[in-house]
Amino acid sequence: MLRGLLRHSVDIFKPSSYDIGNEVVGWEKIGSVKASVSVKDSLETSGHDQVGVEIIEITLPYSKKLDLPTSDLIITMRGHEYLVIAPPHNVRYMDKELKILAQRNEQSPRIL
């Protein structure tokens, strides 16, 4: 991974406490890292309600702290919140980079 491609500052949050029924009550910040971001898909429905959806792939340097087996994470970047739809993936198990798929919905309320 080329360090010059890490242009975006990304904050990653994980749940800190749960309520009855596994509903997340609080979030804690895992870390803030520099990452490379590429847009995989961008959709917009046209009809009575317009809903924009953006799916991005985030590539960041490997860290044991971020290599979590869960997709219950939130990523904030440029003032937008992205819900992680695929857990962090250690590329080729070489402990060099992680890839994360995340999705942003225009109409969804902010969580943080």
Task: Please return the burial class of 63, using the count of CB atoms within 10 Å of its CB with bins 0-12, 13-18 and 19+.
Answer: middle
> How distant is the alpha carbon of residue 110 from its chain centre?
14
Task: Quote the pTM value.
Answer: 0.83
Residue type at 18 in one-letter notation? Y
C-alpha–C-alpha distance, residues 83 and 91, integer Å: 20
- Give the pLDDT score at 100: 93
- Identify whether the C-beta of residue 81 lies closer than 8 Å to the C-beta of residue 111: yes
- Give the pLDDT score at 59: 93
Return averaged pLDDT per consecutive 10 residues of the chain, 112 residues in all: 80 91 89 92 71 89 85 90 91 89 85 81
- Give the pLDDT score at 81: 93
- Give the pLDDT score at 108: 77
3-105: CATH architecture: Beta Barrel (2.40)
Say whether 89 sits in a helix, a strand or coil. strand
Domain map (residue ranges) of the chain: 3-105
Say whether 5 sits in a helix, a strand or coil. helix
- Give the pLDDT score at 34: 93
